[in-house]
């Protein structure tokens, strides 16, 4: 199975900050990476697919980049509603696998 | 927009069978544009992909479940379902239904349902 190593596991930041979350795959996965946002008790929300394409309605302060094995989610200008847990996931091959999550907390 | 809603038993006894239903709205379960997936998340742990089904009939499972899982479609009710046999306490988790496409990966999720395996 492909391992997705996500870092950091937690992150403290303030409104307006720029934050970066990284995901490293254990083998090359082309650009088949999605990023999800999860808030307690709510359905996960897909933000970005194919490494860098925003889903409709996702604010432009979210961006994704990377290729091969290294991928990044960046939030530029944190808003209050962005404090949540974020996951990466590869859909290059079976089984689909997830990063362990990054909990973004308010400083 | 695809919407999904899970319904499950809440509590299942060890060695018994877990049955979970995902009700889909906003899209036909028969559409070849989508595949239908199940994911689970034990409390305090990471997400585990269980499997996915294409309406054409292709089904893929996570080998970690050792052939205990079956995903099936009910086109008359626009639902898909998970059957997980011989459950143990390790199967206690929040179970999510999800839809996806080949290009976008998983894009829509249900809210999740907690299933506890306990005697």
Q: Do B62 and A94 touch (CB under 8 A)?
A: yes
CB B48 within 8 A of CB B64: yes
CB A38 within 8 A of CB A103: no
Which band of pLDDT confidence, cut at 50, 70 and 90, is reported for residue B88?
very high
| Minimal Cβ distance to B107: which of A55, A96, A97 | A55
Q: Cβ contacts of residue B56 below 8 Å, gap of 6+?
A: B32
- pLDDT digit string (tens) for B19-29? 999 999 999 99
- pLDDT digit string (tens) for A7-24? 999 999 999 999 999 999
CB A9 within 8 A of CB A103: yes
Does residue B57 register a pLDDT over 80? no
Q: What is the pLDDT of residue B55?
A: 87
Interface test with A, best of B105, B107, B110 (most A CBs within 10 A): B105
Structure token pair of residue B4: 């999904």
Structure token pair of residue A87: 């996951």
Q: Nearest-5° angle of CA A55, CA B47, CA B114?
A: 105
Chain B, 96-115: which have a CB under 8 Å from a chain A CB? 96, 100, 103-112
Q: What is the pLDDT of residue B104?
A: 94
Q: What is the pLDDT of residue B66?
A: 79
Residue A40: CB atoms within 10 Å = 6
Which band of pLDDT confidence, cut at 50, 70 and 90, is reported for residue B10?
very high
Contact of A40 with chain B, judged by CB distance below 8 Å, is answered with no
Does residue A27 register a pLDDT over 90? yes
CB A4 within 8 A of CB A95: no
Contact of A101 with chain B, judged by CB distance below 8 Å, is answered with yes
């Amino acid at each position: 199975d492909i391992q997705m190593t996500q870092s950091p596991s937690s992150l403290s930041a303030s409104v307006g900050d720029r934050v970066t979350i990284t995901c490293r795959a254990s083998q090359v996965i082309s650009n088949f990476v999605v990023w999800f946002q999860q808030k307690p008790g709510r359905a996960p929300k897909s933000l970005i697919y194919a490494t860098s394409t925003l889903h409709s309605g996702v604010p432009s302060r979210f961006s994704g980049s990377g290729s091969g094995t290294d991928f990044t989610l960046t939030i530029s200008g944190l808003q209050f509603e962005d404090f949540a847990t974020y996951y990466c996931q590869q859909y290059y091959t079976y089984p689909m696998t997830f990063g362990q999550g990054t909990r973004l907390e308010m400083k | 927009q695809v919407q999904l809603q899970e319904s499950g038993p809440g509590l299942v006894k060890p060695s018994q069978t877990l049955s979970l239903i995902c009700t889909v709205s906003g899209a036909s379960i028969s559409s070849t544009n989508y595949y239908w997936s199940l994911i689970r998340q034990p409390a305090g742990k990471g997400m585990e992909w269980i499997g996915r089904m294409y309406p054409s009939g292709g089904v893929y499972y996570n080998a970690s479940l050792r052939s205990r899982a079956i995903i099936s479609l009910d086109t008359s009710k626009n639902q898909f379902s998970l059957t997980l046999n011989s459950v143990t306490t390790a199967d206690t988790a929040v179970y999510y239904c999800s839809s996806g496409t080949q290009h976008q990966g998983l894009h829509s999720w249900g809210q999740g349902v907690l299933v506890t395996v306990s005697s």
